[in-house]
Chain A
Amino acid sequence: MVVSAYTLRGNTGDWEVVVGLEVHAQVTSNAKLFSGAATEFGAEPNTQVSLVDAAMPGMLPVPNRECIRQAVRTGMAIDAQINTWSRFDRKNYFYADLPQGYQISQLYHPLVGEGAIDISLDEKNPDASGKRIGVERIHVEQDAGKLMHDQHPTRSYVDLNRSGVALMEIVSKPDLASPAEAGAYLRKLRAILRYVGSCDGNMEEGSMRADVNVSVRRPGEPLGTRTETKNVNSVRFVMAVVEQEAKRQIEVIEDGGKIVQETRLYDPDRNETRSMRSKEDAHDYRYFPDPDLLPLELDQAFLDECRASLPELPDAKRARYEALGVTPYHAAVLTAEVENARWFDSLLETGAKPVAAANWVTSELFGALNRLGKDIGSSPITPDGAAELLALVADGTLSGSLAKQVFEIMLETGQGAGAVVEERGLKQTSDTGEIEKVIANVMAANADKVADYRGGKDKLFGFFVGQTMKAMGGKANPGVVNDLLKTALG
């Protein structure tokens, strides 16, 4: 299954792009991976640093169980192999953002092995063919601190607030073949993380960032030399990196040059990647098992607890909605963000009819929120409030157009649907006698059109519906109006 045959045309022919992503996702936890220090975003520099994080002499790391639990749950959510025996390694290199002089990571025995994520190129269009992207591994590691050494002639400025924060490094296989696939993968991964609750997926705050590995090749040829563009912090930028880096590489090769395996960074202002450091000073990281830590051994009870705590995941939720009759499109829209799906689930729990509810949420509610610049979390309408409104539609109290009016008033006033209907008399009427009277008046006032209709101008039917509804202030039951008009017009 190939989502798209994405190729780039160079001067000498077509090129394929091969992409792999290493996503660093900050684990949602109150404390760092190996210390009790807090992990809150945006705190004053060096206010969330324990003696361990500052690598004071004699300080030792102690694994934070919650961070391990979150990584295991994430692995389970992508159907990955969970390694019941894993081990932390030290990755040694000198840099002042790394107070210990090494990062505690996992190289030889990661916590999570192979898994996969299903993507669809057009997430809103379930008919588009899907693709399964392999995940090589997820390992747990510490984040580094922030370092500035160009702020003062003789001093280094170091902020260790992030130092030691738990990260999951989620490494994809080089299965992505276009900017769109890279974007779809990242969005899907982000959705899964947020469903699981293991990472808030907030790319602006750096909770999630990607290293983008890109290479190009002629169709059918072996993999080319790749470059790694570090710390890309939005889906849009990741897609841009794939495109720009692929174009750059093609140009270099077609000009007779060679791609150097190197680390690059992305400059969003110029929309280009730049070399960060060359191969010559590439680090020899000197990995070895961390002697301060025993291997991690997970027992069955822990694994069972992790699995039992997993929520319904996006794909399963989407399938469930579709089984309830919700259109694939609506199901896709409703499950793309976990908060939306949770809101919709609450609405379903009230007994709301799934199809009508899905229609209403995706069009009316999302439209209104969009207009108001709000997200579902700050929606002025609660699922119970929506349920009340939908029930009034279902029992015929409100027509579609009345429901829209009522909804607008609810947004403005915060009143419940029933109260709005009562107070403003916006109830739909199905009183055939009243409607028949109005129809008679409309027909009398438009005798010429009645004649035209009866003479074969079928399209005029809508005109009579409109006139009748208008005369009734929009409150007539449209179905009843239709039926009565058909009879009256013969």
Chain B
Amino acid sequence: MTELTNLGVAAIRDGVREGTFSAREVAEAFNANVAKAKVLNAFLVETPDHALAAADAADAARAAGETPKPLAGVPIGMKDLFCTKGVPSTAASLILEGFTPPYESTVSGKLWDAGAGMLGKLNMDQFAMGSSNETSAFGNVISPWRRNDGGNAALAPGGSSGGSSAAIAARLCPAATGTDTGGSIRQPAAFVGISGIKPTYGRCSRWGVVAFASSLDQAGPMARDVRDCAIMLEAMSGFDPKDATSLDLAVPKWEAGLSGDLRGKRIGIPKEYRVDNMPAEIDALWQQGIAWAKDAGAEIVEVSLPHTKYALPAYYIIAPAEASSNLARYDGVRYGLRDLPEGAGLQDMYAATRAAGFGPEVKRRIMIGTYVLSAGFYDAYFTQASKVRALIARDFDRAWEQCDLLLTPTAPSAAFALGEKSADPIAMYLNDVFTVPSSLAGLPAMSVPGGLDSNGLPLGLQIIGKALDEQGVLNAGLALEERAGFTARAEAWW
């Protein structure tokens, strides 16, 4: 039954419902894959018992003739940014090493309520800050993909949800949670040839999710295809009175509404996304995506999002500003790491704890954030960036007068080698150039695999939709998925 790990969420769910196989068999198969793949470093914590318990509950419910839960029998990976009750949750940081929350995040709780089980906590960029997974305090995740150049370069699985992307691509789990602040679901999905959707800001509760930049953070699913994303997102979404920014709206039946027919849809191509030095392969994929969209019946229109070029600078002011504040709670007083040098006072303890507990990228962003919020610079940076953000949102609003969805590449390149960009933060930040604008506007956006580059590495296409139009985004994703016929997968070398 090794083939069970090749199944996605829908196939597992249906198989368990129909009795083709048991949920326990599924859980055991994935547990075994997780245990074998330690070299990928995708999991920070393995929780085989959690997966087995959920599986047994699903099997028992089926035996008792109960109505199956939406995710009954589906084991998943949980990004370590989600606090999970009784399971260590560190956000891949030293400062939270050993922290075990006595509470369950709303999103993870909803997934367990839907019948899913947890295979483990997935590695990630520390506090979700990074685009390559190299900022994890517990070692970077290695992408299961290899270039076809005969070299053995270890590749980045993308970030910050790199553990999630790698684990799905390597068949360690059929789906996983991710979080996306400026592209942290979409870019890693693109790097490993899977799908991922960041819903409208407010769809998924942030309660119990370790905060990076509160006004941008949004949970979403990552899975091997669009349908699986729809199923997962339905389980993860919904109003939460414990999150003041949560949307008080019913969750649509996205899976039931799936259709790859784009007739009557207008898809906008934002001209400003044709950035300098964009690899020809990315542009070619984009053109291919346009052709697929036309084939699915969509009308293609060129649109303008004139403030796109300011999105990245604005993002790298707003996100660090919020992060510098959100991370102030990690001070060595109540939980997590506490470093008290001999004879030190309170301030020294703070300094020592934070110096020891945060990695260089986190420190960099705390410093940037603190700087842009300080009294003398607030107007020049934060206020200005907030205005830019409003203009970017207005760009989208104007675009929606001409089209229903936008189609762009997900990332400006395929996966790069680990270490290749880590010395150059700006080069690293540029990875988010296509994903950040929709994050700033709070819009739903998805990445689906489009093809391979000349090195045999996956490339992703991004669809951006109007606020609350996850259905439109998923449908366009499905249309592209059907035409791309993307079946490539990483050869198991681990």
Partner-B contacts on A (CB < 8 A):
51, 54-63, 90, 92, 94, 96, 99-102, 149, 154, 156, 158, 284-288, 291-294
A237 to B216, CA, bound (A): 47
Q: Which residues of B contact A55 (CB under 8 A)?
A: 329, 334
Contact A60 B328 (CB under 8 A): no
A101-B331, A288-B325, A291-B245 given; name 11 further pairs at CB < 8 Å: A57-B99, A58-B83, A58-B208, A60-B243, A90-B325, A96-B333, A102-B328, A156-B346, A158-B334, A284-B374, A293-B244
Residue of B with least CB distance to A58: B208
Contact B346 A292 (CB under 8 A): no
Contact B333 A158 (CB under 8 A): yes
Contact A294 B328, CB 8 Å, known A156-B346, A288-B321: no
9 interchain residue pairs of minimum CB distance = A101-B328, A291-B215, A291-B214, A286-B373, A55-B329, A58-B208, A57-B210, A96-B333, A58-B83
* Nearest chain A CB to B305 CB, angstrom units: 23
Contact B103 A51 (CB under 8 A): yes
* 1/0 contact string of B307-340 vs chain A (CB within 8 Å): 0000000000000011011011101011100001
* Nearest chain A CB to B319 CB, angstrom units: 10
* 1/0 contact string of B364-387 vs chain A (CB within 8 Å): 000000100111001000100000
B206, B245, B340, B346: the one within 8 Å of A58 (CB) = B206
Contact A292 B328 (CB under 8 A): no
Q: 14 interchain pairs (CB within 8 A)?
A: A51-B102, A54-B334, A56-B103, A57-B210, A58-B211, A60-B242, A94-B331, A94-B347, A100-B328, A286-B373, A286-B378, A288-B325, A291-B215, A291-B322
Residue of A with least CB distance to B327: A101
Q: Which of A63, A92, A149 has the most CB of B within 10 A?
A: A92
Q: Which residues of A contact B374 (CB under 8 A)?
A: 284, 286
A83 to B489, CA, bound (A): 58
Contact A294 B373 (CB under 8 A): no
Contact A63 B244, CB 8 Å, known A58-B83, A58-B207: yes
- How many B residues have CB within 8 A of the partner chain? 47
Contact B245 A101 (CB under 8 A): no
A102 to B328, CA, bound (A): 7
Q: Which residues of A contact B340 (CB under 8 A)?
A: 154
B210, B329, B375, B382: the one within 8 Å of A101 (CB) = B329
Count CB-based A-B contacts (< 8 Å): 106
Residue of B with least CB distance to A95: B346
For the complex, is B26 an interface residue (Cβ under 8 Å from A)?
no
Residue of A with least CB distance to B376: A284
B83, B215, B328: the one within 8 Å of A57 (CB) = B83
A477 to B210, CA, bound (A): 83
Residues of B85-115 whose CB lies within 8 A of A: 89, 91, 96, 99, 101-103, 105
Q: Which of A55, A100, A158 has the most CB of B within 10 A?
A: A55
Contact A96 B244, CB 8 Å, known A156-B333, A286-B374: no
Residue of A with least CB distance to B202: A294
For the complex, is B209 an interface residue (Cβ under 8 Å from A)?
yes
Q: Which residues of A contact B345 (CB under 8 A)?
A: 149
A54 to B349, CA, bound (A): 19
Q: Which residues of A contact B82 (CB under 8 A)?
A: 58
Q: Which residues of A contact B322 (CB under 8 A)?
A: 288, 291
Q: Which residues of A contact B89 (CB under 8 A)?
A: 57
Contact B325 A57 (CB under 8 A): no
Contact A62 B215, CB 8 Å, known A149-B346, A154-B340, A288-B382: no
A63 to B324, CA, bound (A): 23
Contact A60 B325, CB 8 Å, known A51-B103, A94-B331, A291-B215: no
A306 to B329, CA, bound (A): 36
A58 to B211, CA, bound (A): 6
* Nearest chain A CB to B116 CB, angstrom units: 19
Residue of A with least CB distance to B209: A58
Secondary structure at the B interface, as helix, strand, loop or mixed, is loop
* Nearest chain A CB to B108 CB, angstrom units: 10
A62 to B207, CA, bound (A): 11
Q: Which residues of A contact B211 (CB under 8 A)?
A: 57-58, 292
B207, B213, B214, B328: the one within 8 Å of A94 (CB) = B328
A62 to B83, CA, bound (A): 19
Partner-A contacts on B (CB < 8 A):
82-83, 89, 91, 96, 99, 101-103, 105, 206-211, 213-215, 241-245, 321-322, 324-325, 327-329, 331, 333-335, 340, 345-347, 349-350, 370, 373-375, 378, 382
Residue of A with least CB distance to B99: A57
Q: Which of A51, A54, A293 has the most CB of B within 10 A?
A: A51
Q: Which residues of A contact B99 (CB under 8 A)?
A: 57
A243 to B324, CA, bound (A): 42
A99 to B213, CA, bound (A): 18
A149 to B208, CA, bound (A): 30
Q: Which residues of B contact A292 (CB under 8 A)?
A: 206, 211, 214, 244-245
A56 to B324, CA, bound (A): 16
A293 to B244, CA, bound (A): 6
Residue of B with least CB distance to A34: B244
A287 to B382, CA, bound (A): 10
* Nearest chain A CB to B312 CB, angstrom units: 19
A284 to B370, CA, bound (A): 10
A57, A100, A154, A287: the one within 8 Å of B101 (CB) = A57
B102, B206, B334, B378: the one within 8 Å of A60 (CB) = B206
Q: Which residues of A contact B242 (CB under 8 A)?
A: 60, 62
Contact A58 B105 (CB under 8 A): yes
* Nearest chain A CB to B181 CB, angstrom units: 11
Contact A62 B243 (CB under 8 A): yes
* Nearest chain A CB to B491 CB, angstrom units: 37
Q: Which residues of A contact B215 (CB under 8 A)?
A: 291
Contact A288 B373 (CB under 8 A): yes
A201 to B420, CA, bound (A): 63
A57 to B83, CA, bound (A): 8
Q: Which residues of A contact B349 (CB under 8 A)?
A: 156
A368 to B318, CA, bound (A): 65
Contact B241 A62 (CB under 8 A): yes
Residue of A with least CB distance to B328: A101
A466 to B214, CA, bound (A): 85
Q: Which residues of B contact A90 (CB under 8 A)?
A: 325
A432 to B5, CA, bound (A): 114
Contact A286 B206, CB 8 Å, known A60-B243, A101-B329: no
* Nearest chain B CB to A383 CB, angstrom units: 44
A94 to B373, CA, bound (A): 14
Q: Which residues of B contact A291 (CB under 8 A)?
A: 213-215, 245, 322
Q: Which residues of A contact B373 (CB under 8 A)?
A: 92, 286-288
Q: Which residues of B contact A156 (CB under 8 A)?
A: 333, 346, 349
Contact A60 B375 (CB under 8 A): no
Contact B350 A60 (CB under 8 A): no
A287 to B244, CA, bound (A): 20
Q: Which residues of A contact B350 (CB under 8 A)?
A: 94
Q: Which residues of B contact A288 (CB under 8 A)?
A: 321-322, 325, 373, 378, 382
Q: Which residues of A contact B335 (CB under 8 A)?
A: 56
* Nearest chain A CB to B410 CB, angstrom units: 25
Q: Which residues of B contact A62 (CB under 8 A)?
A: 241-244
Contact A57 B346 (CB under 8 A): no
* Nearest chain A CB to B328 CB, angstrom units: 2
A149 to B344, CA, bound (A): 12
Contact A61 B244 (CB under 8 A): yes
Q: Which residues of A contact B243 (CB under 8 A)?
A: 60, 62
* Nearest chain A CB to B380 CB, angstrom units: 13
Residue of B with least CB distance to A91: B325
Q: Which residues of B contact A149 (CB under 8 A)?
A: 345-346
A294 to B214, CA, bound (A): 11
Q: Which residues of B contact A154 (CB under 8 A)?
A: 340
